[in-house]
């Protein structure tokens, strides 16, 4: 076998340590959400649901939470529509500029949020479009498209075109082929991409700050609350909500696509 006994044990220990490194900080936020003292001193002084209650009753937090959900849904719908179209165009037809797409997509992920945010907000400003709600949706959609596109194109590459050709041979017009053959094969990949897009949009903060123009999403609320001492205990609870609302869609997406989804790309 490739690795000896010692090597295997060493690898196992390293894996355990890395997993601990990944999960300890996240679990701390969850523990602090129920910490009686409401400060960052460790160990926690006792268990309380007080902060959860206060968070539920905080109208600013409620508003930010709802805004984030609506924006994430909007961005997801736009991203799913355009991402599906783009993946079909690239996966099933050839046209000028097709090869450069993978480069553009990697660039879209690798480009710093500051640059993207500044580019989008100045573009909006020079076109005379207002910042705010719809600006955030458009901005989120531009990078959420990448997720949907990547999931869909991976699926299209796996599924042979001969099914579509068979459908055409059997007399189906192109719309019927799309409805009965292409779309069903794409469906779960699109939903998985959409769930990831939702999770990404729900969490995004840098580009959102540039596009917000006064609108508060959940991450912006959290970001501003870092500076307000009396809201810090609520940040823990908001963090718990944010973790759940991004992790659950991703878990579902993983189940749907039947395996590991690549990194954000």
Minimum CB separation from another protein for residue 22, in Å? 5
**H-helix or E-strand spanning residue 179:** none
Residue 12 as a binder of another protein (CB under 8 A): the answer is: yes
* Residue 263 near another protein by CB under 8 A: yes
Q: What tokens were used for 80?
A: 């799913």
Q: Which of 20, 66, 104, 166 binds another protein (CB under 8 A)?
A: 104
Could you say which of 114, 166, 228, 229 contacts another protein (CB under 8 A)? 114
**Residue 120, interface with another protein (CB under 8 A)?**
yes
Q: Which is nearer to another protein, 47 or 226 (CB)?
A: 226
Q: What minimum distance in Å lies between the beta carbon of 109 and another protein?
A: 7
Closest CA to 105 of 75, 80, 83: 83
d(CA 67, CA 217): 6
Number of residues in contact with another protein under rule CB under 8 A: 86
CB 197 within 8 A of CB 148: yes
* Site residues (CB under 8 A) for another protein, limited to 177-206: 196, 199-200, 203-206
Pick the binder of another protein from 45, 62, 123, 176 (CB under 8 A): 123
Q: What is the CA radius of gyration of the chain?
A: 22
Of residues 211 through 230, those in contact with another protein by CB under 8 A are 219, 222-223, 226
Lookup: tokens for 99? 């090869």
Q: CB 19 → another protein: shortest distance, Å?
A: 6
* Rounded (10°) CA dihedral 151, 157, 158, 160: 140
| Three-state DSSP class for residue 35 | strand
């Amino acid at each position: 076998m490739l690795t000896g006994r010692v090597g295997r044990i060493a690898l196992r220990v390293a894996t355990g340590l890395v997993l601990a490194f990944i999960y300890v900080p996240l679990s701390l936020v969850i523990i602090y959400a129920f910490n009686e003292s409401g400060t960052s001193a460790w160990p926690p002084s006792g268990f309380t649901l007080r902060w959860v209650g206060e968070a539920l009753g905080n109208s600013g937090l409620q508003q930010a939470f709802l805004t984030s959900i609506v924006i994430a849904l909007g961005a997801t719908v736009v991203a799913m529509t355009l991402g599906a179209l783009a993946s079909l165009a690239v996966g099933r037809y050839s046209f000028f500029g097709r090869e450069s797409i993978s480069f553009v997509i990697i660039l879209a992920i690798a480009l710093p949020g500051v640059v993207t945010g500044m580019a989008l907000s100045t573009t909006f400003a020079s076109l005379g479009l207002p910042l705010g709600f719809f600006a955030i949706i458009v901005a989120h959609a531009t990078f959420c498209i990448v997720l949907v596109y990547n999931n869909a194109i991976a699926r299209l590459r796996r599924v042979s075109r001969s099914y579509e050709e068979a459908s055409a041979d059997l007399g189906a017009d192109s719309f019927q082929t799309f409805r009965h053959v292409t779309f069903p094969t794409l469906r779960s990949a699109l939903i998985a991409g959409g769930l990831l897009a939702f999770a990404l949009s729900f969490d995004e903060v840098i580009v959102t700050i540039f596009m917000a123009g006064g609108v508060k999403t959940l991450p912006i609320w959290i970001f501003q609350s870092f500076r307000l001492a009396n809201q810090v205990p609520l940040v823990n609870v908001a963090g718990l909500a944010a973790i759940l609302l991004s992790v659950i869609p991703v878990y579902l997406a993983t189940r749907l696509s039947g395996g590991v989804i690549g990194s954000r790309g």
